[in-house]
Amino acid sequence: MQKKITETTAPSGLGNPSQAKLFAVLTGVYIGRRVALMQTDANDIRLAWSDSPSSGWSSLMSVASDAAASSFDARMAANGDIHVVYTEETTCYLVTRKLTFGEGNWSVGSKVTIYNGTQCYDPSLGIAAAGDLWVSYSRFVSLNRTIYVKSSSDDGASWGSGTGDAGDQISSMSMFAWSRIAIDSTSVHVIYNNQDTAMSIRSRSFSGGTWSDAYEIATGCWFDNNFDVGIGADGRMGVAWVCVQFYYREFDGSNWGAISVLETHPVRCPQVLFENSIPAVVYLDVINGDMNVARFTDRRTGAFSASAVVDKREAPFDAVLLYDASSATYQDLTSQADSYVEADVYHASSGCLVKDSGDVVYLGMDARFRFTRLLLSTVGVGGTIQVSYWDGANWHAFTPANGTAALDQSTVDLLFWTDYGSTPVDWQKRIINSQLRYWVKIEVVSGYATGPIGTQISAASELDRMIFRR
């Protein structure tokens, strides 16, 4: 079930890929209750909760109204309490709030300052099995950033030796630096990068001692915050990162394995998940033009599988058909619509995507979908269209959720329905040109003086960022 919770105007509403925003209560009468956190504007962090099957969500509850327009992280404890770490707006100090779970809801505690020595950004939070909290963050001084780590043994009430204590320095200075806390049964790990140097790891045992020397997982240049770390039930650790290409490397508890190339181009929002000892990596991929689609790959054998689309309803269409009224003919332009070749989506009779009254673009999927983006090499001039779906007996005209469009822009986004819960219950499959699918029909009502010509048409939505529950 995909359900829209809210809009956000925050520059980083879901933060970095490695940060957590979606949780589920693990025990008690409210077991399975999901809670989502998001930054809804530049300063406000809010949450909403839902019970299975998540067809409806609660109204938004304020967690903090003093957050900087930056990323934040959160973790849920075993009892359902949530700890949120963020950068304070006015000071850019690193602060935290505890959200105490009781009788099905969360109450927000007082703000606690973790470090007030200078500006702090991009925190990563972890909770050890014993309950200790660990946070890594990017400490900014002048033009450089350095990764530091602090911990709390009293449920977030105090950190290190006080608010003036920056914690343990993990990295050297760099223009940009990001980090990720990862915790297993015996140790806390900090995986971090210096933008133009390396992706590295340092570790510290819970039994005591000091941080290990840095081990370089990968070297190169142009590392950024597009990386993540996952730990399996057997203790193995997987790291996925972007540095020109998209890579993965794994630690089996004793040694680091070889680097695997998952994609030969950059991707966005990689996240590593383990099903017991099987690693899976999900990420946002750019399909041909500028449309993002969520993809995944896993390693059930010796190598990672070919990547697959996470949600086939948000991907290239299963069918794109053009109907020309004057010649009463169909053309299947599915492959042309999927590709990103300039001006190759048109009907041979009209030389246009559509042009005259009665011309139609049929968009088809094997499952109900809710969105399309049309990239046009030539925009339409002077015409109007009508959008409809098949209700089992008739074509049912409707206005898309984001309003009407006349195919008169180079990029046309048609949000047919807000989310999948809003798709019509009477939408039925129909055979069009020998293909049985769910269709959305875009029909010309009044003809175009200049007919539009297409470059790409897809159901891939405007995904900008995603965070999976782990």
* CATH number for the domain harbouring residue 334: 2.60.120
Mean pLDDT of 229-243: 94
pLDDT beyond 80 at 62: yes
pLDDT beyond 70 at 131: yes
Mean pLDDT of 319-325: 98
Residue 385 pLDDT: 96
Mean pLDDT of 54-58: 84
269 Cβ neighbours under 8 A, 6+ residues apart: 17, 226, 283, 284, 465, 466, 467
Please indicate, yes or no, if residue 205 is contained in any of the structural domains: no
pLDDT band at 414 (very low <50, low <70, confident <90, very high): very high
Please indicate, yes or no, if residue 416 is contained in any of the structural domains: yes
Q: Is 251 within 8 Å of 259 (Cβ atoms)?
A: no
Residue 276 pLDDT: 81
pLDDT in tens, 292-301: 889 999 999 8
Q: Which helix (H) or strand (E) holds 452?
A: none
Count: domains in the chain: 2
Return the structure tokens found at 381.
């001039």
Q: State whether residue 421 is helix, strand or coil.
A: helix
Mean pLDDT of 51-56: 81
Number of H helices, E strands in the chain: 1, 35
Question: Which residue spans within 225-312 are E strands per DSSP?
Answer: 227-231, 237-243, 245-251, 260-263, 268-275, 278-287, 291-298, 308-309
Please indicate, yes or no, if residue 22 is contained in any of the structural domains: yes
pLDDT band at 469 (very low <50, low <70, confident <90, very high): confident
Q: Is 225 within 8 Å of 138 (Cβ atoms)?
A: no
pLDDT beyond 70 at 289: no
Mean pLDDT of 206-223: 92
Q: How far apart are CA 187 and CA 79, in angstroms?
A: 22
pLDDT in tens, 338-364: 998 999 999 999 999 999 999 999 999
Residue 277 pLDDT: 87
Mean of per-residue pLDDT scores for the chain: 94
pLDDT in tens, 135-148: 999 999 988 999 99
Q: Which of 106-115, 280-289, 461-470 has the highest mean pLDDT?
A: 106-115
Question: Which residue spans within 53-129 are E strands per DSSP?
Answer: 61-64, 73-76, 82-87, 94-102, 105-108, 112-115, 119-127
Q: Which residue has the higher pLDDT, 4 or 228?
A: 228
Q: Is 468 within 8 Å of 271 (Cβ atoms)?
A: yes
Domain encompassing residue 351: 319-458
Residue 170 pLDDT: 97
Residue 136 pLDDT: 98
Q: Is 67 within 8 Å of 45 (Cβ atoms)?
A: yes
Rounded to a whole number of angstroms, the CA Rg of the chain reads 25
Q: Where a domain ends, among 142, 169, 186?
A: 186
Sheet containing 411-415: which strands, arranged edge to edge? 411-415, 371-378, 453-458
Please indicate, yes or no, if residue 167 is contained in any of the structural domains: yes
Residue type, 227: F
Q: How far apart are CA 38 and CA 73, in angstroms?
A: 10
pLDDT in tens, 175-199: 889 999 999 999 999 999 977 789 9
Residue 197 pLDDT: 82
pLDDT in tens, 422-446: 999 999 999 999 999 999 999 999 9
Task: From 460, 462, 440, 457, select the one nearest 338 (Cα to Cα).
Answer: 457
Dihedrals phi, psi of 257, to nearest 5 degrees? -80, -175
Q: Where a domain ends, among 186, 213, 236?
A: 186
Please indicate, yes or no, if residue 256 is contained in any of the structural domains: no
pLDDT in tens, 8-41: 888 888 888 899 999 999 999 999 999 999 999 9
pLDDT beyond 70 at 2: no
Q: How far apart are CA 273 and CA 263, in angstroms?
A: 17
Q: Where a domain ends, among 157, 186, 215?
A: 186
Q: How far apart are CA 74 and CA 85, in angstroms?
A: 6
Mean pLDDT of 411-420: 92
Please indicate, yes or no, if residue 296 is contained in any of the structural domains: no
Please indicate, yes or no, if residue 51 is contained in any of the structural domains: yes
Q: Is the pTM of this model over 0.75?
A: yes
Mean pLDDT of 451-459: 95
Task: Give 58's DSSP letter.
Answer: P
Residue 237 pLDDT: 97
Please indicate, yes or no, if residue 213 is contained in any of the structural domains: no
Q: In the chain, what are the helix, strand and coil shares in percent, each to the nearest 5?
A: 0, 50, 50
Spell out a b/e string for 273-308, using b for 16 or more CB atoms within 10 Å of the CB, else e: bbeeeebbbbbbbebbeebbbbbbbbbeeeebeebe
pLDDT band at 1 (very low <50, low <70, confident <90, very high): low
